[in-house]
Amino acid sequence: MSQTQTPLPAESGTRPVDPTNLLEIRGLRKHFPIVRGLFSSVKGLNRAVDDVTIFVRKGETLGLVGESGCGKTTAGRCIVRGYTVTEGEIAYRRADGKTVDLAQLSENGVRPYRREIRMIFQDPYSSLNPRMTVFDVISEVLRVNRMCTVTEMKDRVAALLERVGLRNEYMQRYPHAFSGGERQRIVIARALITDPRLVVCDEAVSALDVSIRGQILNLLEEIQDEFDLTYVFISHDLSVIRHVCDRIVVMYVGKAVEVAPALEMFIKPLHPYTEALLAAVPIPDPRVRESRPRVALKGEVADSSNPPSGCYFHPRCPYAEKQCRNETPPLREVDGGRYVACHFAESLNLRGALER
């Protein structure tokens, strides 16, 4: 690839990032105004992401999991700067070791980083322009960033298509000629075309048939090792999260309520909401399934535009005390490398989905 691309902007003076971390998100908030009335006046705020602090280690797969509307997709789009951040830092450690706060960059300032931070979208049918050929879809980012010549584009697109399991003669076909699994392979090739360092996978397999999901997950794992990628993997499917993720962030109404290594979380959750999510994981063996107690949550998910006081989960939590109603629990480190936002995490004996 020719070296015609523009240099990355200078660092923005943010706090230094741990050398083992590629990304550190601190106090991230994304609020959407609620507009109503004849004169489109702002009546409130939808707190889609509300004070999230997490980090992503280089080379790992970090899972974001939670119910629909918990803010995981919004957080992912903030990372790639698909949304302008309301508040907080997105500290990104560049290849040269310097740190930049993506949240503070202008649209022009963040543009060079779009080569290094890419996204795989949920729906392979709506994420591809039906009027563009496969070659145009994949090479568009190369043309926009002037990263190589037309000849180099063709060679690079052909090589990537073969790497994701498609024939290079498919370059001149249109998206309608492909199945859902093939379209998602095209989306993956588009994400890889700029040699990224971080890829945000937003429900990358949820729109696919069950028979195809395993193939795409295996492909993502193979190219992670081959291209030295770091993943932020967003999903509501805990069985997928367990299969691909090194660590898991559980989100509830815009907040991160637990962060832990995947296996440890499945064995022994520390937050009552995590326990409820794990109780919903299907168990193939009917004898084991019948012997496990059900965890049924009362009420509905809190309204992110009008959240409850204290812990957002307390109206549904079977372990809630008066302190939970009055004080918001911070996300704090417990048990060496695990983080939880619960006042009583150390005293609760919660049940996981796996046995030691």
CA 219 from chain centre, in angstroms, equals 18
In a domain, 187, yes or no: yes
Contact between residue 243 and residue 328 where contact means Cβ atoms under 8 Å apart: no
Mean local confidence (pLDDT), 176-203? 93
Task: Give me the mean pLDDT over the 176-191 stretch.
Answer: 93
Is residue 306 one of the residues assigned to a domain? Answer: no
What DSSP string describes 6-53? PPPPPP--PPPPPTTEEEEEEEEEEEEEEEETTTTEEEEEEEEEEEEE
Residue 145's pLDDT band, with cuts at 50, 70 and 90, is confident
154 sits in which H/E element: helix 150-163
The pLDDT tens digits of the residues spanning 201-252 come to 998 888 788 888 999 999 999 999 999 999 999 998 888 898 899 999 999 9
pLDDT tens profile 303-334: 899 999 999 999 999 999 999 999 999 999 99
3-state secondary structure of 87: strand
Q: How confident is the model at residue 42 (pLDDT cuts 50, 70, 90)?
A: confident
Contact 8, 92 (CB under 8 A): no
Residue 99 in this model has a pLDDT that exceeds 90 = yes
Q: Is the dihedral of CA 174, 178, 184, 185 positive or negative?
A: negative
* Banded pLDDT at 285 (limits 50, 70, 90): low
Report d(CA 100, CA 351) in Å as an integer: 40
Average of per-residue pLDDT across 132-153 = 89
Contact partners, residue 210, CB within 8 Å, separation at least 6: none
Q: Can you give 311-354 as a three-state secondary structure string?
A: CCCCCCCCCCCHHHHHCCCCCEEECCCEEECCCCCCCCCCCCCC
Over range 332-340, report the average pLDDT. Answer: 89
Residue 182, in any domain of the structure: yes
Q: What is the total count of domains within the chain?
A: 1
Give the residue numbers spanning the domain of 134: 124-193
Query: What is the spatial distance between Cα 326 and Cα 26, in angstroms, rounded to a whole number?
Result: 24
- DSSP letter assigned to residue 173: S
- 169 lies in some domain: yes
Neighbours of 206 (CB within 10 A): 14
The Cα–Cα gap between 107 and 328 comes to 34
Tell me what the mean pLDDT of segment 294-300 comes to: 78
For residue 245, the model assigns a pLDDT of: 95
The answer to the question of residue 159 being in a domain is: yes
Distance CA 78, CA 72 (A): 10
Give the dihedral sign, CA 91/95/98/104.
negative
- The side-by-side arrangement of strands in the sheet containing 117-120 is 117-120, 198-202, 230-235, 61-65, 247-252, 255-261, 338-340, 332-334
Let me know if residue 157 belongs to a domain.
yes
Does residue 138 lie in a domain region? Answer: yes
d(CA 11, CA 197): 17
- pLDDT (mean) for 115-126: 89
